[in-house]
Amino acid sequence: MYALWRLTCRNWKIFIKDKANVFFALLAPLIVLVLYVLILGKLQVDGLLSALDGMGVTGGRDAVQAFCDCWMLAGALSCAGITVPLCACGIMIQDRSRGIAAEYLASPVPRWMPALAYFCSVVLAGLFVGVIVLGVCFVWLALAGSWYLSVLDVLGCLGTLILSVLSSSTLLVFVVGFFKSQGAFTGLNVIVGTILGFLIGAYMPITYFPKGVQYFTLFIPGSYSAGLFRNCIMRGALEQIAATLSEPFAASLEKEFSMKFDFFGTELGVPAMACVLAASVVLFALLLFALSAVRLRKNQ
């Protein structure tokens, strides 16, 4: 166990010391933040207030602003839970390209240990950076006057972060295991960073997409992570809108901003989202174990 811990710490330290890698890991959440502050935030708030005016309801800017702030931060957290583990997987590619992975085969450590150390370091990096991003989000909400979270909501965010990082780590370590070159891995990073925010509804609600695209996003584990974060962060602001402005308007917001999913006619709430995300952890963990077993047998 000591050797596993040392290898895990070695991989984690390499990731943390690479400032450029950490920056690109946070690039997708930063894009969400910048787009919201510069463009999307005002458009969304004004659009929701106009919808309220059309219903004969005036005022409520603070509650609507809080709801939009929470939506943006839920998207940023969801992106961070995926992009940080992905960038942490880069240590695997670096070690292969430098021949370090081959040296492990000649070392006295068990052959399964380096692979497990890579996975543990990816999870550790995701949780470490994710907790920091979560803390920044909480500070943002408090300073902006948009804090409507209860203690259970905060705990729910922490639990969702852990489940999200585990899900994305098992999936990404499995996928990156098939990559051999730094160029191919960079291409994967670019693709994920470009389309991730759209597919999980971080830039705009998924309900704005064509029906086919909406159904496609339901097969992406990150979509359920985003859904859980939305329910934890946005629920308090939504309840404030329902209590002070309009219950029908709050109900329409819950549907429009994908706090529940329509899975081919079946409504998926928080328990179902959590179960799907947990099932993805088990599925890709089994696939990762099977892949590692095959490679260990080939190297014998």
DSSP characters for 285-296?
HHHHHHHHHHHH
pLDDT tens-digit profile of 228-283? 999 999 999 999 888 888 888 888 888 888 888 888 888 888 999 999 999 999 99
CA atoms within 13 A on the CB side of 41: 16
Strand partners, 268: 261
Q: What is the pLDDT of residue 7?
A: 86
Give the count of alpha carbons within 13 A of 266, CB side only.
Answer: 5
Write out the DSSP string of 107-131.
SSS-TTHHHHHHHHHHHHHHHHHHH
Predicted TM-score (pTM) of this structure: 0.91
Taking only the tens place, the pLDDT of each residue in 66-120 is 998 999 899 889 988 999 999 899 888 888 888 776 677 667 777 778 888 889 9
State the average pLDDT over residues 144-156.
91
* Structure-derived torsion over alpha carbons of residues 229, 234, 239, 241, reported in degrees to the nearest 10: -160
**pLDDT tens-digit readout, 151-194:** 999 999 999 999 999 999 999 999 988 888 888 888 888 888 77
- Give the Cα separation of 180 and 194 in Å (integer): 22
CB–CB of 78/229 below 8 Å?
A: yes
Give the separation between CA 227 and CA 208, rounded to whole angstroms. 15
Helix (H) or strand (E) holding 262: strand 261-263
CA dist 10 and 176 (Å) reads 19
* Residue 236 near residue 149, CB atoms below 8 Å: yes
